[in-house]
Structure 1
């Protein structure tokens, strides 16, 4: 059953690709920050209704978790805003290659050092080679 997580992650990546182009078009028509705001309002409404029907957690936890854990929402807003600016200018694929590079490189660092309470997973030679190849991909996607 562990196979489901990479499959769901892949589907999440597909959704991000669609989201980038859709939000880029929205930003062109409504304005970049306005497009990001509209996107988050729609997402918030969707989550609200899912929470009403399927939620079993504790919204009150917002008052007891470490405050740095609430920063994730700001990072999501930053990401959507950046993609709304970037995609119309460079396209979906080059923007996503840059996003993936940032995610993987900092994901490796977060794992290596066990930041934010994660289990430390050391950097190895394979990961270093993969990051180098990712930079090559980033260069090729963005070099005209």
Structure 2
């Protein structure tokens, strides 16, 4: 379990660093969509090499593919949206505002997903304290963005 927390912490650090890296690539090339494609190609190559290196890369079977809900195939579209936001929005609004908005909106959206058990999450009701926590995050990100 500690490994998973460590992995999540590293992902959080990466989430703060990545927009700057991606925006710099976009600016240096002067081609944001091309930069986004390069970012996705590097990600794909890293997953291929890592998957082969640890022996976890396998092709799914026909029944496995058929069992996937239609909406589960669309996750890659959200990756593209996130990368495009990194390329266009993060340089304009800054790292703290960008990440604060991304995380806070993610928490608010997650409360709804958990409450209704949507997109594969187990039902976890939106209690008063969870809602208060999200509201405090909204206030916090507003302070970061304004000052």
Q: Same fold (TM over 0.5)?
A: yes
RMSD in angstroms over aligned alpha carbons? 1.7
Alpha-carbon offset, residue 59 of structure 1: 2.5
Show the counterpart of 1:137: 140
SS in 2 for 1:59: coil
Show the counterpart of 2:9: 10
Show the counterpart of 2:25: 26
Residue segments in structure 1 that go unaligned for 5+ positions in a row: none
Q: What is the rounded CA distance, in whole Å, between the counterparts of 2:59 and 2:141 in structure 1?
A: 39
Listed as ranges, the matches of 1:65-144 within 5 Å are 65-144=68-147
Residue segments in structure 2 that go unaligned for 5+ positions in a row: none
Could you list the per-position Cα deviations for residues 16-64 of structure 1 after superposition, in whole angstroms to 9, with x for gaps in the alignment? 1111110111111222212211111111111111222224354325732
Alpha-carbon offset, residue 85 of structure 1: 0.6
Q: What is the rounded CA distance, in whole Å, between the counterparts of 2:60 and 2:4 in structure 1?
A: 28
SS in 2 for 1:123: coil
Q: What is the rounded CA distance, in whole Å, between the counterparts of 2:86 and 2:96 in structure 1?
A: 11
Structure 1 length as normaliser, TM-score? 0.89
Q: What is the rounded CA distance, in whole Å, between the counterparts of 2:8 and 2:98 in structure 1?
A: 19
Structure 2 length as normaliser, TM-score? 0.88
Moved over 6 A (4+): none
1:52 aligns with 2:52: yes
Q: What is the rounded CA distance, in whole Å, between the counterparts of 1:143 and 1:25 in structure 2?
A: 24
